[in-house]
Chain A
Amino acid sequence: MGKYSSWDFKKRDHDAKVNMNGDASVQVDKRRGRICEHADICKGYLDDQFNQIEELQDEVSPNFVEEVVALFFKDSSRLLANIERVLEKYPRDFSRLDSLMYQLIGSVSSIGALRMKNECTSFRDHCSDGNLEGCKRSFQKVKREYTTLKQKLEKYFQWLRQAGPVEQATNSRK
């Protein structure tokens, strides 16, 4: 996430309809950078909790969403690496695996990553069943969801940055 330098949210008081790369036009509340409610990139992947995080971005914390997402990626990659290591070295240590996944679920829920959360929960179910194969399968899915989520969020930030020059401004509020 380090490649994302801070950008200035243009402080406009109106929503702007922006056409991005020929995709369906996306309504952007540019004061808050909120587009997830309207954009397909987030559907199913990020739930209302992510909107709450977008809501917290303001003049005092203009890069809040980016900062939280960066923290999330840092924490998650660390936890995923730990889980991978434990699966390799102490595969039947279900209690340790469960405890690590519990921590990961915490961050995942806080950011609103719904699909990833469901896979993480599946992993924990396999831990309680002592099902190692189940855990390994689930873990692959968790990693896939994580990669997809990263891609979606990268796209989200790209769209926000592209929303700089506004082609059409309307006075409509959401």
Chain B
Amino acid sequence: MATTRGGKVTGGDGSTAKPHVLAVDDSSVDRAVITSLLRSSKYRVTAVDSAKRALELLGLEPNVNMVFTDYSMPGMTGYELLKTIKESSNLRQIPVVIMSSENVPTRINRCLEEGAEDFLLKPVRPSDVARLCKRVLH
């Protein structure tokens, strides 16, 4: 049974389980696209429409290996979600990628400083998603 939280995934018997990626975006179009991108790389994907729901899921599911989150969302932003994850003793190991349609260097730096794995500009390219997942999950 896969018990590793965040990053590389190995089953208790040494086999590799399918990594579970959580996608967070308030746009239904973007959720559909990121989900499809991740599924075509053979990951198990859960997509939610808010940071609040993401935290609820993270609280219940013991095995999320990676998070992709939009930066600008109503309510809790992707940055606030990142902070909450990194400040939590059980969740901080989970790599978090921030996505944004705005190229704002101060924003990018702030996210990286807060511990984001990477920052992707939207619309995200399949090659960027594949590259990141490969780096983090394998």
Query: B-contacting residues of A (Cβ < 8 Å)?
Result: 49, 52-53, 55-56, 58, 60-61, 64, 67-68, 71-72, 74-75, 102-103, 105-107, 109-112
Contact = CB atoms under 8 A, between A and B. Distances in A.
Contacts, number: 53
Interface of B: 27-30, 32-33, 36-37, 39-40, 72, 101, 122-123, 125-126
A110 B27 CA distance: 10
9 contacts: A49-B123, A52-B33, A52-B123, A68-B33, A74-B28, A107-B29, A110-B30, A110-B33, A110-B123
Contact of B101 (A53, A74, A75, A109): A109
B24 to A, nearest CB: 14
A72 B29 contact: yes
Q: Which DSSP category, helix, strand, loop or mixed, fits chain A's interface?
A: helix
Given A49-B123, A106-B30, A110-B27, 12 more contacts: A55-B126, A60-B39, A60-B40, A61-B36, A61-B39, A64-B36, A67-B32, A68-B32, A68-B33, A103-B27, A107-B27, A109-B123
Contacts of A109: 101, 122-123
Contacts of A61: 36, 39
A160 B70 CA distance: 33
B51 to A, nearest CB: 16
A111 B29 CA distance: 8
B29 A110 contact: yes
Q: Interface centre among A52, A64, A72, by most B CB within 10 Å? A: A52
Contact of B32 (A58, A60, A71, A106): A71
Contacts of B37: 56
Nearest to A58: B40
A169 B116 CA distance: 49
A110 B36 contact: no
A106 B101 contact: yes
Contacts of A52: 33, 123, 125-126
Contact of B122 (A56, A67, A75, A110): A110
B40 to A, nearest CB: 6
